[in-house]
Amino acid sequence: MGKIRDRMDEDLRLRNYSPSTRRNYLMCCAHFAKHHWRSPEEMGEPEIRSYLIHLLEVKKTSLADYKLHLAALKFLYTHTLRRPEEVAAIPWPKVPRPLPRVMNHQDLSTLFSAIDDFKHRAIIMTAYAAGLRIMEACNLTVPDIDSQRMLIHVRHGKGGRERYVMLPERLLDVLRGYWKQARPPGPYLFPGQKPQTGISPAAVRKALAKAEKKADLKEPVTPHMLRHSFATHLLEDGADIRVIQVLLGHSSIRTTALYTKVSREHIGRTASPFEQFQVTTP
pLDDT greater at residue 52 or residue 160: 52
CATH 1.10.443.10 boundaries in the chain:
105-268
Instruction: List the CATH code of the domain at 105-268.
Output: 1.10.443.10
Closest CA to 231 of 188, 267, 196, 263: 263
Q: pTM for the complete prediction? A: 0.70
pLDDT, the chain, mean: 88
pLDDT greater at residue 126 or residue 20: 126
Q: Which of 153, 158, 205, 214 is catalytic?
A: 158
pLDDT of amino acid 253: 78
Catalytic residue flag (residue 35)? no
Confidence of residue 50 (pLDDT cuts 50, 70, 90): very high
pLDDT at 272 over 70: no
pLDDT greater at residue 202 or residue 20: 202
Q: Which of 133, 228, 233, 266 is catalytic?
A: 133
Catalytic residue flag (residue 227)? yes
pLDDT at 198 over 60: yes
Q: Which of 74, 233, 259, 266 is catalytic?
A: 259
Q: Which of 35, 54, 205, 250 is catalytic?
A: 250
Q: Which of 227, 228, 233, 266 is catalytic?
A: 227
pLDDT at 264 over 70: no
Give the pLDDT confidence of 87-107 residue by residue, as tens digits.
999 999 987 777 778 899 999
CATH 1.10.150.130 boundaries in the chain:
3-86
pLDDT at 267 over 80: no
Among 118-127, 142-151, 254-263, the least confident range: 254-263
Q: Which CATH superfamily is domain 3-86 in?
A: Tyrosine recombinase, N-terminal domain (1.10.150.130)
pLDDT of amino acid 281: 46
Catalytic residue flag (residue 224)? yes
pLDDT of amino acid 132: 94
pLDDT of amino acid 214: 94
Catalytic residue flag (residue 133)? yes
pLDDT at 193 over 80: yes
pLDDT at 263 over 70: no
pLDDT at 275 over 70: no
Please state the rounded mean pLDDT for residues 36-43: 95
Confidence of residue 170 (pLDDT cuts 50, 70, 90): very high
